[in-house]
A = this chain, B = another copy of it.
Amino acid sequence: MAGQILIADDLSLNRTVLRGKLTSACYRTLTANGGVSALKLVHEHRPDLVLLDYHMPDMDGLAVCQALRADRSTRDIPVILFSANADHAHRLNALAAGADDFMAKPLDEAYLLGRIRSLLRNVARRDEWRNHPNTALQAGLAESAEPFAMRPDMALVTGRAEAREGWLSSMAAIWPDARWHDITVPAALGLDDPRKSPDVFVITPDAMDRAGLHVIAELRSRAATRHAEICLILPPAARADGAMALDLGAADILPLPLDRAETRLRLEKIISRKRCADAQRRALENQLGLAAFDPLTGLHNRSHALAEFSRAVAQKNAEFALLLIDLDRFKDINDQHGHNTGDEVLRQVAQRMRQDLRHGDILCRYGGEEFLLAMPDADMSVARLVAERLCARVGDHPYILRDGLAKLRVTASVGISVHDAPGRALTTDILKRLIGASDMALRAAKHAGRNRVVSAQSAVA
């Protein structure tokens, strides 16, 4: 269930007031009258977000937050700490303990709700693929990226040229290890390549005065910057803008005057999140790649190759050919030399075959020791030529294996079929008949003694 928030405060009146606010904002609530029961309720109910009073007699909010962060099963739950005392030490301790935000009491309702929405939105986005049965993806998602392995690239968005140096030196003093540079709003919106985008845009008040809150929406809408994080430096009086900025997609608000340690912690948190989001996109990309490529040989896999073949054929107005290539007596290699050796042979065979492809030919591992070569633009004579060349390439030289300890000779048999009705689309039916015809030709090659090419007797119409 979504939208459940735990409120922990030792004063009953405070709990009631906060509960009222959250209920009218349509959240379900749980309440705890102390730190110990808060921890217990988190473990029992897994709320979506936790609001903690800083000072509670039995166990303070800080300790609760630290306990949540130390436990694998609760460390990703968003936490906001609040206290009537909002001095430097309180703010800093809260953020250092891993809280996502610290807010002063009395709580600004609009800002609190904006912050809650922003944190819940992040969680929903992060968990988007968490229930997919692909466990390798899950492992990738769960892997915590090393946030500072790469130097953070921070762009300070400035409005007036004369204010630039001042901002840059303040920020560099706050986080000297990050790479700081300044950028104007037009230059930021003019970025045309995601690889040139900084990790974070830090928008200064003078840039904001000119460009307005829309600059957040602008950065979010442009392809080059949509994955960058955005934060705003705002005077405390502009809290209402802050809530709207969070709703528009800003990651955080840095309150003026900038406290060094607090600002540093907030920026580090943004970078952690950015690295995590990047790592998740990479995990998705990798899995999508696994869906398309055979991990052993690096060739296309079957379904991917056939999809690409159809697409390529649709763009040509020519005959097309399909070759099935099967390694001879490959089973013996696996049986006699083990699967590691067999795998290495497959890798090397794929490498050799790849050298002889024409531009546009699609080679895939069809399964086991069988390969399929789809030629979107080839008649029988061309296909035959390529097949003879492949056969020779595979069989002419022995394979050096196990660091030179073994030398094996491997040959291949090839069956070819062509489609002779140029300009027709590659239907499932035609594909099936092509594969069937090539398979029959391949079996004829095997029966005729292997290590040879046989063409189907007639073209597939």
Contact = CB atoms under 8 A, between A and B. Distances in A.
Interface string A404-442: 000000000000000000000000000000001001100
- Please provide the 8 A-B residue pairs with the shortest distance between their CB atoms, ordered closest to farther: A368-B368, A26-B189, A134-B292, A290-B291, A217-B247, A291-B291, A117-B221, A2-B223
A104 interface: no
Given A214-B247, A368-B368, 13 more contacts: A1-B192, A2-B223, A116-B221, A118-B221, A120-B222, A121-B221, A134-B291, A135-B304, A135-B308, A139-B307, A287-B287, A287-B288, A338-B443
A113 interface: yes
A307 B439 CA distance: 35
Interface stretch (A124-132, A147-155, A271-279): A124-132
A290 B307 contact: no
A142 to B, nearest CB: 9
Given A3-B222, A439-B339, A303 B292 contact: no
A25 interface: yes
A419 B198 CA distance: 48
Interface string A179-222: 00000011001101000000000000000000000100110111
Contacts of A369: 368
Given A117-B217, A288-B291, A291-B290, A224 B2 contact: yes
Interface residues of A, number: 73
A248 interface: yes
A118 B28 CA distance: 31
A367 B295 CA distance: 11
Interface string A349-388: 0000000000000000001111000000000000000000
Contacts of A218: 25-26, 117
B137 A291 contact: yes
A421 to B, nearest CB: 23
A323 to B, nearest CB: 14
Interface string A284-315: 11011111100110000011100110110000
A269 interface: no
- Counting chain B CB atoms within 10 Å of each CB, the highest count among A2, A304, A439 belongs to A2
- Counting chain B CB atoms within 10 Å of each CB, the highest count among A114, A121, A248 belongs to A121
Interface in A331-359: 331, 335, 338-340
A222 B2 contact: yes
Given A127-B223, A137-B292, A3 B189 contact: yes
A113 B189 CA distance: 14
Contacts of A2: 192, 222-224
A226 interface: yes
Nearest to A127: B223
Contact of A135 (B223, B247, B307): B307
Contacts of A439: 338-340
A338 B370 CA distance: 13
